[in-house]
Each structure stands twice: as structure tokens, then as C-alpha cells.
Structure 1
Amino acid sequence: MSKAPAAILNVAFEQASVSLSTPIIVIPEIAAKVDYVSRYVGNRAVVRLLLACSLAATHRPDVDIRQPYTEINLPTSYSGRNYDESYITGFINQHRLPCNPTTAFLTPALRNRNTTLTPSINLVGRPPKLYQAALELLDDVYEGRITPSELLAETVRCLLLARNEKEQRMETLLADLKKTDGAIPLAAEEIVTLIEQHLRCRGSSRLPVLIVAAAYEAAKSYLGERFLPLAAHNAADEQTGALGDVEIALIDDDLVITSYEMKTRRVTTQDIDRALQKINSTGKRVDNYIFITTDAIEEPVREYAASMYDSTGGIEIVILDCISFLRHFLHLFHRLRSQFLEAYQELLLAEGESAVSQPLKEAFLALRQAAESCREL
């Protein structure tokens, strides 16, 4: 009788831990594919596919590792999603492995399928090379070139290496920042430049949310207001019941008084109409509904937003430029500029990698260290 899935994962973890410097899979080209899938930072879902499928095939030797869909309706098919959600989620959280926080089987490339995952299948995932490598690895197990337990342990080994390297880089970057302690704080305009540079990095759509939240965190004792817990980056407002991306309440109350909605494009009149629909459907009557955009603001749209005040009975809708918002805040609360920067960094580093990628986090620390080092000179 095979071991329980949790026990199999523990064995794989122990095997990977004692063999960190030596690949468990001895065929170099196969080991290289596992390493590639495990370390690809632009898509952390595919490695969960490998973990779930190799766990299932180790737990149940009678299944076909390439058939992780019960809809295939064969004796050799199984639910990869069940293994993923029931066992892999807890395992990666326990060991802080750099994987997608949610199941791979709800991603566009892998959901709603009922076919065997052979190397000839086009999953229409990006990048194609990543998905092709994963399909070839499943086929390597099916053809007997490696065992599912070897694939599982090798994937865990590569993830442990990636985790350790990431943590070491973060420790180094944070240690470098500490070397600038005691220096003159960055000027408000230097902080604006730093954030502008960070916003220009790839995958920065979550950052305006953190900018606004950090501003309220830094000044909450002066404003008497606070931001409510942030929803996940990919959560729809309809799912969370939130009006916008950042909701503001009084310090001692949960009643939302201001809502911020972030746009990385130009705000349109349709956006304003949808905001009004949300206000009406949720019953949350805010004082302000503020759009923050990283794009240009068109005057007719600005005027349309302003015209809503009377028709809504006193709800002020406004569109603000993200950097202008930040600049005004930093000069208005000049003595809190360092607190803002610390709050922004703390929020940034606490974000999951599906919202803020590891390279984007490291980019900020490097940019900040460079800015503060220049101040020392």
C-alpha cells in the first residue's frame, strides 16, 4: 500500500534537502527541464502542475501522470486539482516555496480540459517553451525515463534552491540598506523620483495601490483615517464586496468614507459610470471616490467626474495622477516622508508574488539603496 500524499511530500522534501547540491535526476537534459520550469519567475503556476501530477502518480502508481482531469473518464485519469489544492498548497506554504499561491488547474492554459497532456498538445500558455517543457517531463515519467517520485523530489530540490537564493538576495539587499542608517533622509523629490523609477519597471500595476495605502499608513494618526485590509491583486470587486482597490475608513470605524480605484490607463466616462453602479449596488455611500491613474487625464472626463457631485447628492468623484498625488502628500506631510518610504517597502515586501514579482521587490531595494548611497556621498 502506498504512503499517504502528505507522507510522500515529506519524503520528497527530506530527499531534496539532503541532496541540494546534487541533482536527483541523473539524466542531464531532463534535470535541466525541471530546473527551468522550477525557476521561471514569470509563471509560477506550471511548477505546481509538476508537483501535483508527480505527487498523484507517486501516490497512485495505476494512474497516467499525463491525465490529471477526471473528465477524461478513464481508469487511469485523476483529479490533479484535488492533489494540488489538498496537498500542494499546504506544502508550499509550509516550506515557503516560490510557487503560485493558488492551484495551477484554474489558470487559463490548464482549466476545463479533458485530454491527455502529451507533448503534442498546444496549451496556449505563455511562454510556450515553459509549457512544452512541463509536458515533456510528464511524458518522461510516462515513458519510464524517470519515476514520478524522482520528478517530485527534483522539483522540490530546485524550488528549495530558488527559495534559498531569493532569501539570500533579499538579506543582502536589506543589509546594504541598513548601511545607510543615520544618513540624511531622502528629500521628498528624491522619493518621488525613486517611486517613478519603480513604476517604470515591468509588472508594476499593483504599485499605485501600495503608494496610496502607504500614504495613509504613514499619516493615519494625523488624518484619523486608515486603509482597510487590501484585497488580492486579482480579486474582482464583485467578489470582495469592495468599492475599489483601497478603501479608507475612520480609525475607530469600519465604515468606508473614501474609495480609491487604480488605473494604469486613461480613465474614461464609462469607468465613472461603473463606479456609480458599484456605489448604488453595494449601498456603500462614500464621501469621495477617487481614481488614481498613471496615464494622462482628459479634461472632458475630469469635468464629467466633477459633474457627478450634485446628481449623487454629495459624492465627490475625482481623477488624480499617481505621481502628483504622491508629490503633494510628501510635501504636505514632509516630516513623514521617511515613514511613507518604510510603509511602502513593508507593504511591497509583504505582497504575494502573483501581485508583486520577486524581481520587482528586489528592484525597489536596489533603487532605494542606490538613492540613499548617493545621499551619503
Structure 2
Amino acid sequence: MKTNKYLRNQLLFLSGWRRRAIPVLAGLALGACSDPRPPEVRGAPVQAVPAARAPVTVDVCGQPVTYTQVPQRAVTHGINITEMFLALGLQDRLVGYGGLRDITRLPPAQQPLLATVPDLSNQGMNLETLIHAQPDFVFSGWSYGFRPGQITPASLQALGIASYVLSESCIRQVARERVSLEDTFQDLLALGRIFAIEERAEALVNGLRAELQRTTDALQGLPRKPRVFVFDSGTDIPVTTGRYAMPQAMIEAAGATNIFDDLDSSWVRGNWEDVIARDPDWIVIVDNDSPTADGKRQFLLNQPELSYLQAIRAQRFVLMDFAEATPGPRNVQAVRRLAHALHPERIPSP
């Protein structure tokens, strides 16, 4: 594999710290009050798993990837990605995280789990900082932390570091038929295999699937599905979600349609003319820090050209945190909350 000069220098650096690396310590035991795992496995001690094991092969963006060892020193990049890792009880393997501007954006039970874990970057993934953490595994996604020409699974592999790619993000590299909440479930199950915690991952996924099924069963036979516009950011040009972003699957599961489900992309720049023409019944505002969710709401309410939209006239808004709108363990709960707003006669208050 060809590498540029910077990557070759990092490879030399990496080989040096591997010779100096000390053994990894066993993970810390955690109290049940801060344990994010499901009731079926809550209370079980978190134990270090020996690195040696039979190779495990999982699907990553349509390609088989084999992991010959159980990772002991992991780095995550992206708040939703870090939440997935913590929901599996893998905090003892974390040697760093990134892409999280504020730890308080995590669920309260998860916040203490990162108290002693280094924040490697609250913006983009940095190779030098990443290597200093001495990881043997990186979990991120395309446009979450992995970017062509920068840090990629291939460049990490050249440095002897394994990785896993968030399934929803694979649309940035390969063609896909659709996005699904099953993408999140399959990612959790794949991590369970990679980290030799299959039973823990299956218990978590089974609970999420059952909760999702209760919502979708209650929405069978709807006479009409409301039209939903997802507003992420932007003033002159709105950033929204096409048919391959996770909100597409969440809106469908909540008994509605995405007004931009004809856009063959994930998170994408749209235009206000199409928003007006498609006249959404509801608007989902994604809270991703800048500006605030209320600031986005006030912006929408103050635009004269939007004043005739059904959603604006009735002020029908649903707030969704960024970690809820991207693949992660909070997707299912967010679907039910959205379904309650759209169909309160079918779905009781969460």
C-alpha cells in the first residue's frame, strides 16, 4: 500500500511505541447506578478479555473484515458512536474519544464513564493525537471521523490499527439500498463479536428491537402519514436528511414520510424552495449545538416565506438531539417520542 511521507513517519513512530508499550490493565468495576447495560446483564462485572482468540470476520461496508485479536485499547470518534460503545459496557477498553464537544450531551448515566478517559479531539480526528493514545482499534464512520485523504480504515491498517465503520455512513463509499434501524442493531452485534461480548450485545439489541416493535405495531393501518422536514442547520441553504440518513428510517418507523426521501444521499444541502413546495406537517429540529435548538426554531418562525407552511402555522416542532438523529442506542426511544407527537391517539406519552 502506498503511503505519503507523513503517514510513513507515523508508521515509524508507531513501531517505536509498540516496543515500549506496557501491558493493558484490567477494567474498572462500576456501580449499578452508572451501568448503561440492559437489565439482563446489569450488575455483571466488566472483565478484561484475553486478546488472543480465534479470528472473527464481520461485514464492514459490504466487505468481510477479519479481527484476529480482541481489542484492548479502543478509540471512538462521534458522540453517537461513543454512546454505542458505552451502552455495551466497553468503557474499560476506551483509551480516548473524540467528536464530543460537551460530555453533558451524553445520557447522565454515561457521563461518569468518561471522567478519566482522555478527550483526544472535540472536532476532527487528529492522527498524531490518536497515535499517542496507542490504540489497537478505532470505531468511527465516514464523515464522522474518517475522511478520504485523511484518516481512513486503510491508513489505520497500514499503522497496524484495526477499525470498524458505522454502517449508516457506508453510503459515502459504497451504494446501499436503504437505511434502517437494523443498521444500528447490526453495528452493536458486530461490536459484540469483535470484543467477545456477544451475549451482552444480543441482550441490548433484543431489548431495543422489542421496544421498536411495540411502537410500529401500534401504528399499523394509519389512514394518513404526516410529512416531516428535518432541519439540521443553515440559513441560506438548509442542511437536511435524504433517504440514506438515519432520520429517514426513524420517520418511517414513527408513521410518517420524509419530504426529502427522494434525495439519494444522507445528510445533504437542500433548498427552501423545495421545503415550501412540499409543505411539511411537522419539522424535526436537530440539536447539534450551533445554533441552539430554540435559535433554529425562532429562525424558522421569523422567515416570512415560510409562514404559510402547515408546520409553521401550527408550530408543530419536535426536538431531536444529534445523538438521537444519528445511529445509536437512543434511536428507538426517539422514534417513540416522535411517534407520540405525530400520533398521540396511538402512542401514549413516553
Query: More helix per residue: 1 or 2?
Result: 1
Same fold (TM over 0.5): no
**Which has the greater radius of gyration?**
1
Q: Greater share of strand residues, 1 or 2?
A: 2
State the TM-score, normalized to the length of structure 1. 0.28
Q: Which has the higher contact order (CA 8 A, sep 6+)?
A: 1
